[in-house]
Chains A and B, each alone.
Chain A
Amino acid sequence: MSAGRALASHYKEISIAEFFEKNRHILGFDSPQRSLFMIVKEALDNSLDACEEWGILPEIYVEVAKKSDDTFCVTVRDNGPGIERIEVPRVFGQLLYGSRFHAVRQSRGQQGIGITAAILYGQVTTGQPSRILTKTQESDVGFEMYMQINVKENKGTVISEKPVIVSYGHGIEISITAKGRYQTGKQSIIEYLRETAVVNPNMNLTFVDPDGVTAIFRRSTEKLPDPAKPIKPHPLGLEPGEIIGLASVTKEKDLRSFLTGEFNRVSDHVADEILKESGLDGSVSPGEMKAESALKLQLAFRKVKLMPPPVDCLSPLGDEFIRRGLMAVYEEHHPAFYSKPVTRPVSVYNGNPFSVEVGIVYGGELRADDQVKIIRYANKVPLLYQAGACAMTRAVAEIDWRPYGMDQKQGTGVPFGPMIVLVHVYGTRVPYTSESKEAVAAIPEIIEEIKLALKSVGRGLKSFMNRNERREKANEKFNLVMNIIPEIGKKCSKILGREEPNIDRVMSLVANVVFIKEESSKCDGGFEVLVRILNYTSESRAFTLYAEPVSGKIKGEAMWAIPSIYPAGASEITFKVMTESDKYPGTDYYTTGINPVLVHGAEPLPGDWSLREEEAVEDGQ
């Protein structure tokens, strides 16, 4: 943004639009296949931002229609609030226009140039205007407009406009015809939509590809995310050019009130300090600010004591969105484990608040011999390109995953295993490696936060694997004692033609444990669970058993006093797990009143049983 503005002021005869027309690669429109993708991305990002800001559950329609071998028409329709018809040329036709200029706020689009660049690309490659249909709640009709961008003057020109009757209350539909190539695969429109669906589980999205094939991603929650609050820019996050920019549009009359009024965390006292450090006069008009003064201000900002920016200006995806989104999109792989997502507390780099969220999916039918799939998001937008240059990939590769049970050569590099890692970096200003926003820059503070979050989900993965391993061992021993040893007894007596020996004592000697084994069967509203408790120790055993389903709820009490069971004796309990799932989610069992080493199939009850939820949240801090 600062580069664009600096150029605009120095070379008045070249508009920003003209500049970008000549440098479209900077915005990501540098290859035919990528250009179609960029058009969908820019339009969809805007739609989702609008829905989120207005608290609307998104209904999105995306279509890529083939016009000729190398020409496609991309249409994106949303159910956002729509915009006034007179605003259309400015919103869609002017680079750097946006409501976000004065305030700093976390959003998908940040520069107010994306969609205009997309329209411009279509115009340059096909000469055709873009079609925009907007309908607001207040208006009775929608307006369909054909618009072109006047490159010299950096503004949109409406060629034709007519009112149309639409069946919906509000929304925007934009169609851009452009040259391009449609492709599928890792870096494709469909993959972008799929990854978008993961982090927007409250969205219904329909996609029609050039062959007319329809893909639908259905909403799995009706929850609305808390919208991000706009904040004023924090002094530490600004370059001199941006300070000049703010100064040129401010309504404040003097420099001192400019400081207190337009910046975050600048009190009267702090403003005085800044003026003192910079040696500037607080009474001059900010509108006349020169580069020299801006530089002095920037230096002064670093010398005074400033509070970090407030943290409530950020909007995370949150635990539920990550979990539901991953489940809805990756369910077809039947993963064995979804981690509890981890959201890091807000940190600051360079005066910009940011944070990190991480979730993982593990096992099932995910491929075990492939590298782990990393799905990267910046401000809720999937990043498909330049994975190698991205801070998120770097953070994954820098962690030694071996202690968490993954395969990794020499403890470095992207690990191998049946896993998908979701990483989301969000903030008021996410630092990208380039203007086309494809990779997050490797800022040490950001990498460190991602690593902390990854390690936290890694611990969850490890404990899942340990639990699985213990279950397998318990099953193996159960099989040994309950099946193999009795069969040896039978075979020996058959060979010798004698009676079968009583093997109870040997079974107890070999096992020396109490087995807790469950069997489940589907029933109305959930699963009926039968738990068999077999005492293969040499003494009578009594204890208390607790059950906690991995998901779903137990109907009634989840605690049982197991009365004394004689050696080689057995006892049974039954209960019902209420769940909507078609697959029995599994149950964790815990015991008290018995030496835990004597129990197979249950863990000792943690001392903080009643605090378990809080404990889990603590772990994510």
Chain B
Amino acid sequence: MGSEVKKTLESMVEGIYNALGGGEVPEIRMSSRNRDNIVLDKLSSVWKYGDAKVSRSLRTTDGANYVLKNMYMIDFILEMLRDGKSSTLREMYYISEGWGRAKFGTQDESDLMAEDLEVITSLIREDFKLRPEENGASIIGDITIEERSRKGDFKKINCKDDVGEAGYTIPNNVESEKLRLSSTNAKFVLALETGGMFDRLVENGFDEKFGCVLVHLKGQPARSTRRVLKRMNTEMNLPIFVFTDGDPWSFRIFGSIAYGAIKTAHISEYLAVPTAEFIGVTASDILNYDLPTDKLTDKDIAALNAELKDPRFQTDFWRAEIETMLQINKKAEQQALAKYGLNYVTDTYLPEKLGEVGGIT
């Protein structure tokens, strides 16, 4: 695998090298990573990049700086492959301090360029020995996984019996060489946006009562979290239900799980669960359950309007919910359900909502 990666990266460099020597202005072409270039792939039912391309050429200073930084990044990756090392994205950003003119201005710039390299080469960052620094999210529920330890042997962990209250922590690398999903008695997965709600459901024994796996997303879910959800869905046939706050940012969390995120549309097939269901909090819930609310901020309103133009949200359901939210000018947190008592969410709300979508029969 490593030599394949090396070959792909070197051929990219060779393209630049040959153009320079051959008297042609070199350029790097790649899919446009813009919201306007997101299209639904009918076969996989997830959103991917469309046909629009952008090119970075040596004709402009910006383009030339981009190509130069790209070459430095490739050189760094090839070095790690040679030495059997890996680094976090943040470490790479700091290492670029020594790259002179090719130094990154911000970590956003280097992160974005690493993703660009995935798009250009159709490889993933694990191939480049680059990993994010943040921890994955937590799992609690009757599912048994096998994780390869540092010694190299696989260790069985049941996410109900073998873990503490915080649950099992999803590692950064969740590919089969590191993580295997071995067995489960659960009937579905419930993904939760906030830690408060995760803890509430654990304390109320929701996973055992309804036979489900609880996954704490920790806000916008990391790639590894989405990848695990995808694998639980495809390898274990577990349906995925998503329970978040009722605001535009939570709608995006669901979008990234079910449809694929704009930034990672090149690997949507590998991360997105098109059958995932959103069970709330919706704008209709705010009205139906008469929840305590906050007023929408200007940023919230802008985000909702952007979602109205987002190709991924062009369904009757989302249109109605987004427009209702704009109209009532209100948003609500998951924990607003505590208005009716600590058991209301587990005894009433979730059974009702899951019942609607067929999660509980």
Q: Which of B16-24, B145-153, B341-349 contacts A (4 or more CB under 8 A)?
A: B16-24
Q: Which of A30-38, A179-187, A261-269, A482-490 contacts B (4 or more CB under 8 A)?
A: A482-490
Query: A495 touches which one: B23, B25, B64, B74 (CB < 8 A)?
Result: B74
| With contact pairs A495-B78, A510-B59 given, residues A488 and B21 touching in the complex (Cβ less than 8 Å) | no
Q: Which of B65-73, B186-194, B294-302 contacts A (4 or more CB under 8 A)?
A: B65-73
Q: Which of B19, B58, B61 has the most CB of A within 10 A?
A: B58
Q: Which of A81-89, A235-243, A378-386, A498-506 contacts B (4 or more CB under 8 A)?
A: A498-506
Q: Is A251 an interface residue (CB 8 A)?
A: no
Contact A484 B101 (CB under 8 A): yes
Q: How far is the CA of A195 from the CA of B60 in the complex (A)?
A: 47
Q: Is B14 an interface residue (CB 8 A)?
A: yes
Q: How far is the CA of A503 from the CA of B64 in the complex (A)?
A: 14
Q: Is A550 an interface residue (CB 8 A)?
A: no
Q: How far is the CA of A496 from the CA of B59 in the complex (A)?
A: 23
Contact B16 A488 (CB under 8 A): yes
Contact A480 B17 (CB under 8 A): no
Chain B residues near A506 (CB-CB < 8 A): 19-20, 23-26, 58
Q: Is B323 an interface residue (CB 8 A)?
A: no
Q: How far is the CA of A205 from the CA of B64 in the complex (A)?
A: 57
Contact B17 A496 (CB under 8 A): yes
Chain B residues near A493 (CB-CB < 8 A): 17
Chain B residues near A501 (CB-CB < 8 A): 17, 20-21
Contact A492 B58 (CB under 8 A): no
Q: How far is the CA of A498 from the CA of B14 in the complex (A)?
A: 10
Contact A496 B14 (CB under 8 A): yes
The smallest C-beta distance from A500 to any residue of chain B, in angstroms, reads: 9
Q: Is A305 an interface residue (CB 8 A)?
A: no
Q: Is B13 an interface residue (CB 8 A)?
A: yes
| With contact pairs A501-B21, A510-B25 given, residues A479 and B61 touching in the complex (Cβ less than 8 Å) | yes
Contact A491 B75 (CB under 8 A): yes
Chain A residues near B65 (CB-CB < 8 A): 484
Q: How far is the CA of A503 from the CA of B58 in the complex (A)?
A: 12
Q: How far is the CA of A195 from the CA of B356 in the complex (A)?
A: 81
Q: Is B51 an interface residue (CB 8 A)?
A: no
Q: How far is the CA of A168 from the CA of B120 in the complex (A)?
A: 86
Q: How far is the CA of A506 from the CA of B60 in the complex (A)?
A: 13
Bitwise, A406-423 to B at CB < 8 A (1) or not (0) is: 000000000000000000
Q: Is A494 an interface residue (CB 8 A)?
A: yes
Q: Is B10 an interface residue (CB 8 A)?
A: yes
Q: Which of B19, B64, B101 has the most CB of A within 10 A?
A: B64
Contact A510 B101 (CB under 8 A): no
Chain A residues near B64 (CB-CB < 8 A): 480, 484-485, 488
Residue of A nearest to B21 (CB): A501
What is the size category of the interface that chain B forms with chain A? 20 to 34
Contact A495 B58 (CB under 8 A): no
Q: How far is the CA of A489 from the CA of B14 in the complex (A)?
A: 11
The smallest C-beta distance from B114 to any residue of chain A, in angstroms, reads: 17
Chain B residues near A572 (CB-CB < 8 A): none
Residue of A nearest to B57 (CB): A510
The smallest C-beta distance from A482 to any residue of chain B, in angstroms, reads: 12
Contact B101 A487 (CB under 8 A): yes
Chain A residues near B24 (CB-CB < 8 A): 506, 509
Contact B59 A492 (CB under 8 A): no
Chain B residues near A491 (CB-CB < 8 A): 68, 71-72, 75
Q: How far is the CA of A270 from the CA of B25 in the complex (A)?
A: 82
Query: A488 touches which one: B58, B60, B61, B78 (CB < 8 A)?
Result: B58
The smallest C-beta distance from B200 to any residue of chain A, in angstroms, reads: 50
Q: Is A226 an interface residue (CB 8 A)?
A: no
Residue of A nearest to B17 (CB): A492
Chain B contacts with A in 1-48, Cβ cutoff 8 A: 10, 13-14, 16-17, 19-21, 23-26
The smallest C-beta distance from B103 to any residue of chain A, in angstroms, reads: 13
Contact B58 A502 (CB under 8 A): no
Contact A492 B61 (CB under 8 A): no
Q: Is A476 an interface residue (CB 8 A)?
A: yes
The smallest C-beta distance from A486 to any residue of chain B, in angstroms, reads: 10
Q: How far is the CA of A484 from the CA of B26 in the complex (A)?
A: 13
Chain A residues near B23 (CB-CB < 8 A): 505-506, 509
Query: B13 touches which one: A484, A485, A496, A509 (CB < 8 A)?
Result: A496
Chain A residues near B67 (CB-CB < 8 A): 488
Residue of A nearest to B23 (CB): A505
Chain A contacts with B in 494-527, Cβ cutoff 8 A: 494-496, 498, 501-503, 505-506, 509-510
Residue of B nearest to A503 (CB): B20
Contact A488 B68 (CB under 8 A): yes
Contact B20 A495 (CB under 8 A): no
Residue of A nearest to B78 (CB): A495
Contact B13 A495 (CB under 8 A): yes
Residue of A nearest to B79 (CB): A495
Contact B61 A476 (CB under 8 A): yes
Q: How far is the CA of A479 from the CA of B61 in the complex (A)?
A: 8
Q: How far is the CA of A492 from the CA of B68 in the complex (A)?
A: 9
Chain B residues near A503 (CB-CB < 8 A): 20-21
The smallest C-beta distance from A503 to any residue of chain B, in angstroms, reads: 5
Contact A489 B25 (CB under 8 A): no
Q: Which of B23, B72, B74 has the most CB of A within 10 A?
A: B23
Contact B25 A509 (CB under 8 A): yes
Contact B20 A492 (CB under 8 A): yes
Residue of B nearest to A511 (CB): B59
Residue of B nearest to A479 (CB): B61
Q: How far is the CA of A585 from the CA of B101 in the complex (A)?
A: 30
The smallest C-beta distance from A257 to any residue of chain B, in angstroms, reads: 80
Contact B21 A495 (CB under 8 A): no
The smallest C-beta distance from B62 to any residue of chain A, in angstroms, reads: 10
The smallest C-beta distance from B217 to any residue of chain A, in angstroms, reads: 39
Chain A contacts with B in 349-407, Cβ cutoff 8 A: none
Chain B residues near A476 (CB-CB < 8 A): 61
Q: Give 13 A-B contacts (CB < 8 Å), ordered by A residue.
A: A480-B61, A480-B64, A484-B101, A488-B20, A488-B64, A489-B20, A493-B17, A495-B74, A495-B78, A496-B17, A506-B26, A509-B23, A510-B58
A interface residue numbers (CB < 8 A to B):
476-477, 479-480, 483-485, 487-489, 491-496, 498, 501-503, 505-506, 509-510
List 19 additional contacts besides A484-B65, A487-B101, A506-B23; criterion CB under 8 Å.
A477-B61, A484-B61, A484-B64, A485-B58, A487-B68, A489-B17, A493-B17, A495-B10, A495-B13, A495-B78, A496-B13, A496-B14, A501-B20, A503-B21, A505-B23, A506-B25, A506-B26, A506-B58, A510-B59
The 6 closest A-B pairs by CB, nearest first: A501-B21, A505-B23, A492-B17, A491-B71, A484-B64, A501-B20
